[in-house]
Structure 1
Amino acid sequence: MNLNKISSDELYPTESFGPSILGTLIYKVGDQTEFKGAYITTNERIIMNVDMMGEDYRRVFAYTDIVDVYVNEKGLFIDFPDGMGKIAMVNIEDGDADEFVRYVKDKLK
């Protein structure tokens, strides 16, 4: 699975792609805390693709599901409401973190 790419066939008719970003997601599942993952934005939602211990995992979020997004010297952070909390992405391999944050923040308005 190419984590930061999806087919345009998977988009709704009203959707278009925004920026995507690929790196290491920090999120505890069992004994593992680091997972290769990507966020793919569209004008309507964010798609999270993750390689979880060899299994493909996908989760889709509406922009209303996101409290905040920001980048600092430690990485990129997406703050979700109750449940998931804050998820960090470090070791960004592909994509522009600043462009991603600007795009998502614009959708949060």
Structure 2
Amino acid sequence: MSLINLTEADLYPTEKFGPSLEGTLLYKVRDQAHFPGAYMTTNERLFMNVDMNGEPYTRVFAYTDIVRAFVEDDVLFIAFPEGMGKIAMVDIVSGSADEFAEYVNEKSGK
């Protein structure tokens, strides 16, 4: 099951697709910290899709909600304001982490 599943119908009329990534998100929820996930960008928003043990979870972020995105040792990090912290993506199977981080930082004004 691909988690990169946005279609034109999901977008606002003014939106265009940007880069996407698919890999493993590292974020602690109860006793689990590894989840298959994807980030999909448009020129207006960032979508995060996560497979939480067979249950789909989608969260949408405005670029103003993102502190910055960066790649360190083949790991993509997206830093959010205090309270949410950073979310890491490892084992990227689709997309370029460097291209993705550059796009997100450009859109978020970093």
TM-score interval, smaller chain: over 0.9
Shift of 1:43: 0.1
Instruction: State the distance in 1 between where 2:37 and 2:29 align.
Output: 14
- Partner residue of 2:55? 55
Shift of 1:71: 0.3
- Partner residue of 1:18? 18
What do residues 13-54 of structure 1 show as CA deviations (whole Å, max 9, x unaligned)? 110000000000000001000000000000000000000111
Alignment of 1:1-109 (within 5 A): 1-109=1-109
Shift of 1:7: 1.1
Shift of 1:5: 2.4
TM-score (norm 2): 0.95
Identity %: 62
Unaligned runs of 5+ in 1: none
TM-score (norm 1): 0.96
After the TM superposition, list the runs of 4 or more consecutive aligned residues in structure 1 that deviate by more than 3 angstroms: none
Instruction: State the distance in 2 between where 1:8 and 1:74 align.
Output: 30
Give secondary structure in 2 for the equivalent of 1:2: coil
The letter of the residue matching 2:25 is L
Backbone CA RMSD of aligned residues = 0.9
What do residues 30-82 of structure 1 show as CA deviations (whole Å, max 9, x unaligned)? 10000000000000000000001110000000000000110010500000012
Unaligned runs of 5+ in 2: none
Instruction: State the distance in 2 between where 1:27 and 1:88 align.
Output: 7
